[in-house]
Amino acid sequence: NAGVTQTPKFRVLKTGQSMTLLCAQDMNHEYMYWYRQDPGMGLRLIHYSVGEGTTAKGEVPDGYNVSRLKKQNFLLGLESAAPSQTSVYFCASSYGSWAGAIADTQYFGPGTRLTVL
């Protein structure tokens, strides 16, 4: 199993450009999450999904959109990138409440380092 994968690994954008980050998991997880990690700020939740076709806002959703058309994929979009969106983006997934105690562990992808100039 590949676990949680993210593409691309690195990206440089100019202000105003758009892009989509792809997260894929092969563990049949119900829940998927997008976080951003900035120095001294920890991991902050952008958006999450509790199942195919569902999405919900996290702590810092402004400037981002997401879609979960397939259970195994969770896409994060930036419509008009801003320098404040320069960050490392992590995707994570977990089984979800229906699986009981094992639902809690979140498995993270390798991250995408995004720079907006």
Partner 1 sequence: GENVEQHPSTLSVQEGDSAVIKCTYSDSASNYFPWYKQELGKRPQLIIDIRSNVGEKKDQRIAVTLNKTAKHFSLHITETQPEDSAVYFCAARPESNFGNEKLTFGTGTRLTIIP
Contacts of 83 by beta carbon, 8 Å cutoff, 6+ apart: 15, 116, 117
Show the binding pattern over residues 60-89: x = contacts partner 1 (CB under 8 A), - = does not: ------------------------------
- DSSP structure string for 83-97: GGG-EEEEEEEE--G
Q: How far is the CB of 62 from partner 1 (least distance, A)?
A: 16
Write the burial class of residue 61 (CB in 10 Å: 0-12 exposed, 13-18 middle, 19+ buried): middle
- Write the binding mask 24 to 63 for partner 1: x where contact by CB under 8 A, - elsewhere: -------x-x------xxxxxx--x-x-----x-xx----
Interface residues with partner 1 (CB under 8 A)? 31, 33, 40-45, 48, 50, 56, 58-59, 90, 94, 96-98, 103-106, 108-111
